Structure 1
Amino acid sequence: MSLHVIVGAGAVGTATARLLRDQGCDVRVITRSGSGPEGVEKVATDAADAERLTALTRGAQTLYNCANPPYHRWATDWPPVAAALLGAAERTGAVLVTLNNLYGYGPVDAPMTEDTPLAATGLKGRIRNRMWADMLAAHEAGRARVTEARASDFFGPGPVGTSHLGEYFMPRLLAGKRPWIIQGDLDAPHSWTYVPDVARTLVALAADERAWGRAWHVPTDRPVPLRTIAAQAARLAGVPAGEILVLPHWALRAMGLAVPFIREFEEVRHQFTRPFVLDSAAAQEAFGLAPTPFEEGLAAHVEFWQRRQRAAA
């Protein structure tokens, strides 16, 4: 059986590990804590340790980068981790498949495709663009085989945590209270990417050499405004549909003075104050992938949070 190494056990890392496990693959999940789903090998190590990561990747068909350092530590944590991942891919021959977001495009005025310029003005977007440039250079020089999957905000079954549809939104909505979001226009069209679709895309890109040497957008259904989502989620949960509380911009800035994580949202505020739409036609056409219908994904998202709420009671 083929070996696949996954760095990170968040929502996507866990979903990818389970998908590969269920396909009969050998899966090794690497995290600082040694966490991961049942039925896979779990290893506790620092992904920035290049020698250790290389040793753990030897013999693997694919190395998946599903890591996600704390928001406010990207500038210090991402460079050594990214270098270690690329170095491991170069030394072992494993295909490096990286999960990325849309920060690299910066503010946009039209739906984003893979040809949209990487014109990020913020630090986090520039960091991710540098990582991709380094990977692409290694690929073009014949030192590594790489590809990247770019997704919008996560939703679906799994610990999406600080997503706009995560910790700050669902528990209050399910309790019949006003859900709140950190920032945004409640009626602006916004793309949401379903976590199981991300896992399926990562695995597809790893297995198809046509995917290597370029980035792809994860198949994502039509954009849906936050106000619509709140109403649909409340109906699915059987609770009153309360008005969403939007944190004023001045309050966001004030909170950021004391909370580093909150402070980082200022850079990506544009994603929720205007239409933010992902075009994933390229991956859908190339690999025969289709996004999960939004309503189906939202039902799974609500069900996950209901189970989590019951377990915490």
Structure 2
Amino acid sequence: MTFYMAHQPFRFLVLGGTGSMGYAFAQELLQQREQVTLLVRNRQKAERLFGPHPSLQLVTGDAQDAALLKELGAAATHIFHGINYPYEQWEAHMERVTRHVVEAAAQQNATVLFPGNIYNFGLTTPITEGTPFAPTTKKGAIRVRLEEILQQAAESQTCRVITLRLPDFWGPNVMNEGIAPIFRAALQGKPMPWLYRNDIPHQLVYTPDAARVFYELAKLQPAEPYAVYNFAGEVVPSVKAWQRQIAEAAGTAPKHKLYPGWLFKLMGLFSPGMREISEMGYLWQHTLLLHDDKLRRTLPNLPHTPMKQAIEETLAWFRENWHV
């Protein structure tokens, strides 16, 4: 595989910048003194998260507004597609917004940076960049379709794409219902929750590390128009052991709470969100592993924040931003 070093100056448009990966990537860009435009629906939230910064521009709006996205994309060299919706809204929104991103990137042949996941592969493990798609869920099929849209756009020279596939991610401002309650509970000395099983190995990635990988790949710019990499992060021996580390760092006694699968099936009778979680139960019942040999060859000095430091940084963020 060949690469060319992309020329400065970069101009990054970050979508989903107040969410988990978008926040981490925007913070990385600001630390690198890059020019960043954030398209946000909640300006007040973005101002709380980022504060004033000389190279940051906030624009209030919605990525479903195709005209606005094209207007912002016209000045971008890179567009970070960190947009996400609650599971039950994926079918209605994710494909449409991804097509809007492609249209915005097409104006300057910008590079779309896309956080992938493992939903495309069902129970397949280990997963390499060449592993065939084998989704077993509706959301897995949607993720396959999103990657197909991006690949087709890149191969037709509409834009360039770098997809970085990630396992479960955690870190500052990761506010999903799998991760945030763990850190809040640890700080309060309450039982730390998890789903299905907490006694098997689980693969995790710290969002600031993934953000640095995205930035390094953007600088390197693979010569291939559609480039896919896995980032494996770290495998913890069990979520229960990982939670114990978190509680100890928080200065509280480790307590655990496990939600069984039957509970989500029962609640799914009344709640669309719970039905969607129940469908994805295999993710917490099995150890699924990404392999990232390709990325390690590409970036020999792959970033890795030591677990103890990463836990302390995340706890510090939750202490300071409890109600964000």
- Normalised to the residue count of structure 2, the TM-score between the two structures is 0.88
Deviation at 1:212, TM superposition (A): 4.4
* Secondary structure of the corresponding residue to residue 298 of structure 1: helix
Alignment CA distance shift 1:166-1:59 (3 Å): same
Deviations 1:113-149 (A, max 9, x none): 2222211121111111111111111211222211111
Give per-residue Cα distances to partners, 1:185-243, cap 9 Å, x unaligned.
Answer: 2111111110101211221222223274121122512334111012111211111122x
CA–CA distance in 1 between the matches of 2:98 and 2:12? 18
Runs ≥4 residues deviating over 4 A = none
Tell me the distance in 2 between the aligned counterparts of 1:176 and 1:209: 45
Unaligned ranges ≥5, structure 1: none
Instruction: Return closer, same or farther for 1:124/1:106 CA change in 2, 3 Å cut-off.
Output: same
1:54-103 deviations in Å (ceiling 9; x for gaps)? 11111211111011112210000112101100111122211111112211
Partners of 1:275 and 1:21 lie apart in 2 by 35
Matched ranges for 1:39-54 at <5 A: 39=53, 40-54=56-70
The 1-side partners of 2:239 and 2:69 are apart by 40
Q: Is the 8 A contact 2:122 2:135 kept in 1?
A: yes
Tell me what 2:23 maps to. Answer: 14
Question: Does the Cα contact within 8 Å between 2:204 and 2:232 map onto a contact in 1?
Answer: no
**Kindly tell me: are residues 123 and 200 of structure 1, through their superposed partners in 2, closer, same or farther at Cα, counting changes over 3 Å?**
same
User: Is contact 1:220-1:279 (8 Å) kept?
Assistant: no
Unaligned 5+ segments in structure 2 are 1-8
The whole-number CA distance in structure 1 between the counterparts of 2:305 and 2:203 is: 13
Q: Which amino acid in the other structure matches residue 154 of structure 2?
A: H
Aligned-partner residue type, residue 142 of structure 1: Q
Counterpart contact for 2:159–2:225, Cα < 8 Å: no
Q: Provide the aligned C-alpha RMSD in A.
A: 2.0
Show the 5 A alignment for 1:1-313. Answer: 1-9=9-17, 10-34=19-43, 35-36=45-46, 37-38=50-51, 39=53, 40-108=56-124, 110-156=125-171, 158-167=172-181, 169-181=182-194, 183-210=195-222, 212-242=225-255, 244-288=256-300, 289-309=302-322
Tell whether the 8 Å contact from 2:164 to 2:231 is kept in structure 1 after alignment: yes
> What is the CA–CA distance in structure 2 between the aligned matches of 1:201 and 1:170, rounded to whole Å?
25
- Cα distance in 1 for partners of 2:110, 2:78 equals 5
State the SS of the aligned residue for 1:222.
Answer: strand
TM-score (norm 1): 0.91
| % identical aligned pairs | 26
Tell me how far 1:295 sits from its aligned partner. 3.1
1:135 partner letter: L
2:13 alignment partner, SS class: strand
Q: Distance in 1 between matches of 2:68 and 2:212?
A: 28
How big is the shift at 1:44?
A: 1.4
Q: Secondary structure at the match of 2:205?
A: strand
For the 8 Å contact 1:205–1:212, the answer to whether it is kept is: no
How many aligned positions are there? 306
SS at match of 2:14: strand
Task: Give the deviation of 1:163 after TM superposition.
Answer: 4.9
